[in-house]
Amino acid sequence: MGLNALPPAQIWLPQIKKHLCIALTSSTPLALQEPRKDSKNLCLQATKELQDMGAKVLGFSDSINLGAMDGHGAWVLQQMCLGLKEARQELGVPFISGNVSLNNATANTPSIPPTLAIVAVGVL
């Protein structure tokens, strides 16, 4: 488990007689300079945590949050999406939902740093 992650969890679902397993990871400082690598690594990390529990990974959900959508913000968004695409292709695990929040900045407050959260869901 990385510094920016919660421990994986599992919930018993009696209706299907299986555990629903969840792993959550979020951006590291690498997101500022190498958002493509960071986003792919988050997916790999969440997948590994579920596989270490013995779970079969079924899908990902992502949440992308960015400050100003200036030239750098647009580049970060593009790179994050490319990293997510690479993870999907490498792992064969689909993104089943997601959320994007852009332009999280005002004239009087500093822009939020690029933040990506990944939730991996599986069954055991």
Residue 56 located in a structural domain: yes
Residue 4 located in a structural domain: no
pLDDT in tens, 58-95: 999 999 998 878 878 889 999 999 999 999 999 999 99
Residue 20 located in a structural domain: yes
Enclosing domain of residue 95? 9-123
Amino acid at 20: L
Residue 59 located in a structural domain: yes
CATH number of the structural domain spanning residue 82: 3.30.1330.10
Euclidean distance between CA atoms 4 and 1, whole angstroms? 8
pLDDT for position 4: 53
Structural domain total, the chain: 1
Q: Global pTM?
A: 0.89
Residue 103 located in a structural domain: yes
Residue 104 located in a structural domain: yes
DSSP state of 115: E
CB 124 within 8 A of CB 57: no
Residue 2 located in a structural domain: no
pLDDT in tens, 3-55: 455 789 999 999 999 999 999 999 877 777 899 999 999 999 999 999 999 99
Residue 1 located in a structural domain: no
Half-sphere CA count of 100, side-chain side, radius 13 A:
10
